[in-house]
């Protein structure tokens, strides 16, 4: 019998989770979620349970639970997904079941598209771009002119193909047992409300045409677009049991131009531009650099950016797990494995800045030998992180005190709010590493 913590968020529905016993009986691996009164839980019509984080506030998060048959779709290709999502202005409840892996870099006629296909006809080439904006001859100013215009045109072609706009009142869920997900695509949840995204693997979300910005930092940077999932001005969103990964193209394989990595990856799950009432639970964030941004800038929306992040696994993550600005963010029962994985070395886990009010409690960190607890946090001297019960290699540790002892930009250890939407919160992080290893990410639900 699996640990009851696996679906603590469904406790109010009195679920029974059967895992090992089912597999042992020869009925297949995976997790069967049963309701003690009504048999199998309907994964596709399921709403966020009461008190399960910030997304349970307000009107709650039901996604497409009320969808009729005309707004219930099963899709397995990019074209079918586009048709099922329809117009972002159509707010009728809808359920989109994804079966198998959808490759976003496919044309309407089914042809596999490459970066060269998007660049075709625009006049863009990387070699010409590098020659035009080499800082040694062009100087440290923003690129403009023929090649930058061509880059934008090529980027627009890619964007049109790989970005999927999600309407309000939508549930997007992977059909269990189908190696399900979206490869190379970006779900955009922008200025809409009441959206559920579950049981999907997001992989290889890559920008063919990063932009060179010589003014970004002291040495310049290559900046890319396309988060695997991006929330902008979105309200009441539940992201549950998904996997986010750069695989198969890891950052170690990327080339270097102008002395900086030619970065083709942006965020994994970013929550910005006044997004609010979001619950992120039981996801796996794997092999990524800038993973989760909460708040697009220090002037993002005050009074919003309220996010709950619980029972997630972070491994091979460099930074932003998350980077939080302004809002009230609750992190509990997460596992952070800071061992370098596939060439992704840890920089920090949580960054609290721009007066963010973060409560981080009962989380578990795994640190390799020689790693410093003081490096788990980051901040600008204005953010707060409260909370207790955090374990580092199994030992209760005051992570804020450790950070403050080594940093001149102190993190405040108190916040101006108290979390109340805490369904499934475990007051001990002792067994989280073992429990979450088999109960998070895509492919668990069935």
Q: Which residues are catalytic?
A: 320
What span, in angstroms and rounded, lies between the C-alpha atoms of 414 and 424?
23
Q: Rounded distance, CA 133 to CA 56, Å?
A: 49
Contact between residue 31 and residue 19 where contact means Cβ atoms under 8 Å apart: yes
Q: Which of 354, 295, 343 is nearest to 318 (CA)?
A: 343
| Alpha carbon 81 to chain centroid, angstroms | 20
Q: What are phi and psi of 161, to 5 degrees?
A: -90, -35
Side-chain-side CA neighbours of residue 168 (13 Å): 11
Angstrom distance (rounded) from CA 104 to CA 259: 31
């Amino acid at each position: 019998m699996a640990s009851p913590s696996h679906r603590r968020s469904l406790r109010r529905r009195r679920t029974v989770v059967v895992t090992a016993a089912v597999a042992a009986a020869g009925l297949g691996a995976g997790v069967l979620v049963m309701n003690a009164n009504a048999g199998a839980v309907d994964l596709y019509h399921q709403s966020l349970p009461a008190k399960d984080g910030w997304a349970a506030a307000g009107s709650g998060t039901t996604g497409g639970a009320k969808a009729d048959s005309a707004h219930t779709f099963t899709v397995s290709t990019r074209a079918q997904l586009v048709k099922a999502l329809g117009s972002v202005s159509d707010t009728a409840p809808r359920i989109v079941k994804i079966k198998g892996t959808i490759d976003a870099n496919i044309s309407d006629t089914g042809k596999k598209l490459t970066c060269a296909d998007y660049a075709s006809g625009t006049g863009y080439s990387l070699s010409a771009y590098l020659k035009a904006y080499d800082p040694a001859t062009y100087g440290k100013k923003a690129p403009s002119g023929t090649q930058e215009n061509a880059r934008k045109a090529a980027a627009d072609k890619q964007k049109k193909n790989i970005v999927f706009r999600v309407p309000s009142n939508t549930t997007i869920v992977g059909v269990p047992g189908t190696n399900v997900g979206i490869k190379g695509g970006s779900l955009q949840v922008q200025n809409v409300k009441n959206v559920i995204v579950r049981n999907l693997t997001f992989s290889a979300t890559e920008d063919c045409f990063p932009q060179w910005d010589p003014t970004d930092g002291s040495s310049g940077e290559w900046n890319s677009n396309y988060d695997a999932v991006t929330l902008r001005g979105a309200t009441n969103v539940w992201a549950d049991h998904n996997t986010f990964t750069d695989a198969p193209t890891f950052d170690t394989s990327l080339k270097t131009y102008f002395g900086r990595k030619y970065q083709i990856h942006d965020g994994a799950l970013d929550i910005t531009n006044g997004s609010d009432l979001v619950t992120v639970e039981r996801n796996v964030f794997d092999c990524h650099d800038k993973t989760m941004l909460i708040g697009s800038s220090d002037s993002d929306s005050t009074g919003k950016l309220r996010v709950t992040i619980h029972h997630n696994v972070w491994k091979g993550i460099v930074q932003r797990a998350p980077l939080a600005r302004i809002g009230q963010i609750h992190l509990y029962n997460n596992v952070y494995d800071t061992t370098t994985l596939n060439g992704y070395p840890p920089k920090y886990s949580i960054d609290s800045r721009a007066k963010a009010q973060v409560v981080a409690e009962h989380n578990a960190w795994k640190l390799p030998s020689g790693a410093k607890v003081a490096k788990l946090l980051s901040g600008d001297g204005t953010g707060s992180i409260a909370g207790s019960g955090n374990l580092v290699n199994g030992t209760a540790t005051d992570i804020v005190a450790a950070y403050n002892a080594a940093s001149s930009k102190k993190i405040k250890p108190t916040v101006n709010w108290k979390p109340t939407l805490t369904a499934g919160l475990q007051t001990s992080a002792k067994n989280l590493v073992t429990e979450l290893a088999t109960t998070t990410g895509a492919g668990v639900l069935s």
